[in-house]
Amino acid sequence: MQQIIFLVTSLEGLHKPNFTQQLKQALQRNVPIKLLVALVDFEASWTVRQFLNRLAQDDARVKGVEVITLADVVADQPGLTLTAEERQAFATGDHEERLFADQKEQIKRYLDAGHLVAELRQVNDDMPMALRQYQADQAVQIDTYGLSGQVIGITKLDNGVPTTSYLLNRRGEAALRFVRHERTLEHIYNIGESSAMGETEFSSAKQAVVANNMTKRERARAEANSVDHTEVVTASEAYYGVLVYATYQRYPDVFAFYQAILDDLMTPETQLYIDLAVNPVLSPRMPHQLIFNY
């Protein structure tokens, strides 16, 4: 079956003008279009829905796009029952409640002796979006709700940084676990006269020589700076490992997991669109798939 799949791996990619342009062009082809929302930040799925709703105000055909979240993928898969400590459910009725609202959403804040202990974002009383729990004014857990009003994701935080996330099936069991890791990467830059940095340094040195205002040591240093050289910059990168509780299969990173999902969704006639930013990571894993970028 001919179809088009857009893989959304970040909100930054979603908000690229080229994404909207490619989506509108795809809508003109009158073939089924699926939007796979592959975000470890489960709460961001609500932002994706809001974005599509805004597009639909200008183009009603956007309403026909099938949105598939990771929660939809695992909804009927077996899972693991979380312990009470892992689940850490919050009882809203045990705390003082204050309601704040604007045109977009409502926020209910729950207080204990004057201290904020939880915050519920909701469209209205019938459609909660996310519940944040706090300890000592630091967010420690985020419960994300699906369209049915059921919790579909639990994210644990340490010092405000997500560490472990559980994606739940329809029965409230953990179907997936995402664990955050960090690794150190090295970026190598060749800097010379042709680079922006090299040109600036070389030009400054040349002007100083012409002005005859440099000592012998300064002149030698300026000449050395104008020669090509290599800089190695180290940076820390966060990534997530994935565990599927149904099979206890482990994926080394989310892109290996996304590839497995795409393999189940795609047909030989599928056109796949992905963010240009993740193309270097994902395209080598799918060498026989024609991939378009946005």
The 33-37 sheet, strands edge to edge: 66-69, 33-37, 3-8, 270-274, 291-293
Question: Domain for residue 15, yes or no?
Answer: no
Closest CA to 282 of 261, 258, 264: 258
- Domain of 219 in residue numbering reads as 193-227
| Count of CB atoms situated within 10 Å of the CB of 34 | 16
The per-residue pLDDT string of the chain (294 residues; one tens digit each, 9 = 90 and over) reads: 799 999 999 999 999 999 999 999 999 999 999 999 999 999 999 999 999 999 999 999 999 999 999 999 999 999 999 999 999 999 988 899 999 998 889 999 999 999 999 999 999 989 999 999 999 999 999 999 999 999 999 999 999 999 999 999 999 999 999 999 998 876 676 665 555 544 444 445 445 444 455 566 666 665 555 555 677 777 788 999 999 999 999 999 999 999 999 999 999 999 999 999 999 999 999 999 999 999
Structure letter (DSSP) for residue 60: G
What pTM did the predictor assign?
0.82
Contact status, residue 166 vs residue 40, Cβ threshold 8 Å: no
Question: Domain for residue 202, yes or no?
Answer: yes
Question: Domain for residue 216, yes or no?
Answer: yes
Question: Domain for residue 128, yes or no?
Answer: no
| Count of CB atoms situated within 10 Å of the CB of 82 | 17
| Count of CB atoms situated within 10 Å of the CB of 19 | 21
Question: Domain for residue 76, yes or no?
Answer: no
Exposure of 283 by Cβ count < 10 A (0-12 exposed, 13-18 middle, 19+ buried)? middle
Amino acid at residue number 28: Q
Say how far apart CA 80 and CA 176 lie, in whole Å: 9
Question: Domain for residue 206, yes or no?
Answer: yes
What is the sign of the dihedral through the CA atoms of 210, 213, 217 and 218? negative
Question: Domain for residue 214, yes or no?
Answer: yes
Question: Domain for residue 68, yes or no?
Answer: no
Looking at the structure of the chain, the number of domains it has is 1
